Amino acid sequence: MQAPANPIFTTSCRDMPLLARHSAGGAARRVVLALALASVTLAATPAPPAPGAPLAAATPPAPGPAAADEFAADECAAEGGEDDGSCELSLRQLRGERIQAAALTAPNGGPGPYGFDMSDLNSHLKAFDDVDTVDEASDDADSSRGSEYKPWNAELVQPSGAPLFEFYMYRAVSDETYAPLNVNTASLGGVLWYLQHEVVIQYPRKFGISRIKRMKVKMRATDALVQLGMHFGPRFAFDKGQCTGPFVCGREEEKGEAPQPKFCDGGFEKKYEADIMAANGKPFDGPYEWSKFGYFVGCNKLGSYPFPMYEVYYENATWYSLPGPCPSKQFNEHSKACVARQPGGMCKGEPTGAGDCTWSYEEVGEVLLDDLIGISVDKLHKEGGREYNPLTDKGTKLSFWNGINTTSANTERMRALTDLFEEKYPKQTRDEALPPPPCDFNFGVFYKEFWWKAPFSGKCAKPSSKCYDMANWGKTDGIYGHPEWYPGLTADSPIEEFIQLLYMQGKEDCPHRPCGIKPEEPEEPQEE
């Protein structure tokens, strides 16, 4: 069987005419970004939205148990972990803050995606057997054994105060089975939209897709993300397990116009770090998105950024991205060092909201696509039928997919899929009774600092008295009342960093950057 190109429901981001890609012309890109910003006020940060009653309950984060070797060993042994090597995972992993190796093997022990044999990845990733050490005198509940997760934003090692959400996600898959790590998933409407636009328009179906899998996801955002009023970050694409963005990779500046974010597709490149450094001159460690906000679950409400940027007639159609271990590399390039440094956001049990523990999942069933349409697609083809023709907007000898832009027809298809799951799994909660939280990713607020000047653009000069007074007020008063106005800064940050931020924001009284700050050189990449 030919391997698919990308697990974006097993499609590739190259199949998507992403309107805001960096290769697009400047004028077209500005139109797209303007649309994304039409209702955004960049000067203020909205309060974190309270989850509504129909959503998952706002459960406070569970406190982490004491980091004791005896507790961890007993818990692991009780769950049978001695047999699969998972007892060698770190204390953070055993407490449900992060899991890597134990989740990478396919549930049936079979092959992984794209022909990569993942059946022995548990042994491949048992990096912690050699490096595990514990400071027995430490009472730090967040200490970890063998973990190399040292985020750029140090607060990301702490659990967050964000609410816990529990909801269904769906995947359109072939007969192969593998864990949903470094892949894209969808809501009920989102997976049907994808099937109708990309899969059932041809025979055989694209990528050999034959099933719709359902998983129950628990999600808790990081504090850094919630402070922006969001629980989701941007939805990224994955190509054979490698995250291909689009990542913010700098600023585009045209004479006489304000800067705006520049985006790059493909794997994140080290050279981007020099162009996305923070106001204090410190370069981000890898992508800005994950350095600053942790390995969040990404969402994309269809009809808005990044794709598709036109009206969609499936209710609440959403795509998601689920970052797992080593998202910078393809599945067959994973190493224990990469997994340790880039743990991803999937964890065991209830997510804590730390940067490496934002989501967990449980596979809860699957249905056949043939059962959904009521006939074997092979039989339909032999009888001269066609599942769906996008040119005529209907099938031949089959009416299930008729009316792609008809809301009522799409609603009926969603109901049919829900009914099919209920028929096969009568004890499970129906989709509408376990709805996803709103896709609250806000493009303008998330990337707002990239509409500011680059930290070290222009000449440096001594600040005016008005500029100094503004910076001093921010350091002594403003940072306490409105910390969201001063991203990356604290009350302990030097006054020069406040002046630099005011310069970046284009404050009239601060036309020049201060001379006392120099950019740090990005660290040399480590062997992985």
Give the per-residue SS3 of 427-487.
CCCCHHHCCCCCCCCCHHHHCHHHHCCCCCCCCECCCCHHHHHHHHHHHHHHHHHCHHHCC
CA dist 235 and 72 (Å) reads 34
Fill in the amino acid letter for 270: K
* φ, ψ (nearest 5 deg) of residue 387: -65, -50
d(CA 331, CA 107): 16
CA distance 48 to 257: 32
Give the residue among 519, 474, 482 at the shortest CA–CA distance from 501: 474
**Residue-wise over 315-354: b if at least 16 C-beta within 10 A, else e?**
ebbbbbbbbbbbbbbbbeebebebbbbbbbbbbbebbbbb
* Per-residue confidence in pLDDT tens, the chain, 528 aa: 443 333 335 433 333 332 233 333 444 443 333 334 333 333 333 333 333 333 333 333 333 333 333 333 344 344 444 333 333 333 343 344 333 333 333 333 333 333 333 333 333 333 323 333 223 333 333 423 235 788 999 999 999 999 999 999 999 999 987 889 999 999 999 999 999 999 999 999 999 999 999 999 999 999 999 999 999 999 999 999 999 999 999 988 777 677 889 999 999 998 898 888 887 777 888 999 999 999 999 999 998 777 777 889 999 999 999 999 999 999 999 999 899 899 999 999 999 999 999 999 999 999 999 999 999 999 999 999 999 999 999 999 999 999 999 999 999 999 999 999 999 999 999 999 999 999 999 998 999 888 888 787 888 889 999 999 999 999 999 999 988 888 878 899 999 989 988 988 888 899 998 987 777 655 555 555
Q: State residue 119's pLDDT score.
A: 38
Q: Residues 389-404, buried b or exposed e (16+ Cβ, 10 A)? A: eeeeebbeebebbebb
Q: CA angle, corner 199, sides to 197 and 204, nearest 5?
A: 145
How many angstroms separate the CA atoms of 350 and 161, rounded? 13
Predicted pLDDT of residue 28: 40
Between helix 495-504 and helix 465-473 the angle, nearest 10°, is 110
User: How are beta strands 233-234 and 298-301 bridged, if at all?
Assistant: parallel
**pLDDT recorded at residue 485:** 85
Instruction: Tell me the C-alpha distance between 187 and 200, whole Å.
Output: 18
DSSP conformation class of 401: T
Residues in the chain: 528
User: For residue 68, what pLDDT is reported?
Assistant: 32
Q: From CA 405, how far away is CA 413, in angstroms rounded?
A: 12
The tokens for 484 are: 């969201």
